[in-house]
């Protein structure tokens, strides 16, 4: 087994993969590309990932891009029954929340991050920020209701659904937003934050992204 991960540490999509690899205590080579590191338009990178984004993962002969495909592959291969349930009914719940993150939650919270953190203050649109925060909180309220019943999004155990959603937490709780009180969502944040793998992969400074729209 020889695993290589390409991507910058302050990318939320890369953090899904590095968090998961840290949970599994897997050894891998990490090549820093994207953002201020550049390299995404290099022919050798485009040959691996024609989408010219991070993350990209190589495991032996297999090359994969799209963060959710990567976490699903790693979980199925190296964490079956752990981060990837075996029963189809349990697995379906993991994928329900994972797809919801891709289509609904991540566009909302990342939109707020771009409008509020990446956009220089002089160019910010207060109304867009207000709407983005309201939508993100509405979606977090959905998670709060779910997390009132179970400790993790898909049930009793941590799965990759928590990882793809949970990469939002460090940024959300450090951004200057008006956060509503959501006790079960906050308790889930505490549970995830207690994990060494979360601290290593997700609690990463995003200082170089502040006021920077370039990448």
The residues that touch ligand GSH, with contacts defined as CB under 6 A, are: 8, 11-13, 34-35, 40, 53-55, 66-67, 215
Whole-number minimum distance, CB 136 to ligand GSH, in Å? 17
Residue with tokens 């290593």: 200
Spatial CA neighbour of 178 closest among 128, 130, 119: 130
Whole-number minimum distance, CB 108 to ligand GSH, in Å? 15
Instruction: Please identify, using beta-carbon distances, which residue of 33 and 147 lies nearer to ligand GSH.
Output: 33
Instruction: Please identify, using beta-carbon distances, which residue of 113 and 182 lies nearer to ligand GSH.
Output: 113
Q: Taking CA 18 as the corner, what is the angle to CA 14 and CA 21, rounded to the nearest 5 degrees?
A: 145
Cα distance between residue 177 and residue 12, in whole Å: 18
Whole-number minimum distance, CB 185 to ligand GSH, in Å? 22
Instruction: Please identify, using beta-carbon distances, which residue of 35 and 132 lies nearer to ligand GSH.
Output: 35
Burial 80-118 (b: 16+ CB within 10 A, else e): eeebbbeeeebbebbbebbebbeeebbebbbbbbebbbb
Beta bridge partners of 56: 6, 65
Whole-number minimum distance, CB 215 to ligand GSH, in Å? 4
Whole-number minimum distance, CB 190 to ligand GSH, in Å? 25
Instruction: Please identify, using beta-carbon distances, which residue of 139 and 182 lies nearer to ligand GSH.
Output: 139
Instruction: Please identify, using beta-carbon distances, which residue of 6 and 144 lies nearer to ligand GSH.
Output: 6
Whole-number minimum distance, CB 55 to ligand GSH, in Å? 6
3 state SS of 155: strand
Spatial CA neighbour of 175 closest among 119, 122, 99: 119
Instruction: Please identify, using beta-carbon distances, which residue of 6 and 198 lies nearer to ligand GSH.
Output: 6
Phi and psi at 5, nearest 5°, equal -115, 130
């Amino acid at each position: 087994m020889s695993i290589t991960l390409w991507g910058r540490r302050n990318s939320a999509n890369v953090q899904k993969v590095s968090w998961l690899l840290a949970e599994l205590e897997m050894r891998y080579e990490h090549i820093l590309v994207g953002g201020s590191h550049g390299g995404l338009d290099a022919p050798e990178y485009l040959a691996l990932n024609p989408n010219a984004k991070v993350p990209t993962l190589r495991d032996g002969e297999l090359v994969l891009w799209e963060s959710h495909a990567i976490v699903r592959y790693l979980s199925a291969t190296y964490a079956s029954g752990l981060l990837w349930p075996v029963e189809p009914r349990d697995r379906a719940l993991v994928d329900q929340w994972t797809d919801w993150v891709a289509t609904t939650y991540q566009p909302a919270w990342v939109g707020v991050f771009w409008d509020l953190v990446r956009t220089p203050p002089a160019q910010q649109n207060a109304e867009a920020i207000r709407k983005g925060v309201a939508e993100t909180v509405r979606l977090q309220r959905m998670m709060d209701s779910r997390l009132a019943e179970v400790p993790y999004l898909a049930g009793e155990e941590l799965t990759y659904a928590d990882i793809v959603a949970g990469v939002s937490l460090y940024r959300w709780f450090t951004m200057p937003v008006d956060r509503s009180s959501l006790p079960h969502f906050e308790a889930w944040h505490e549970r995830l934050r207690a994990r060494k793998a979360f601290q290593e992969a997700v609690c990463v400074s995003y200082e170089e992204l502040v006021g920077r729209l370039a990448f």
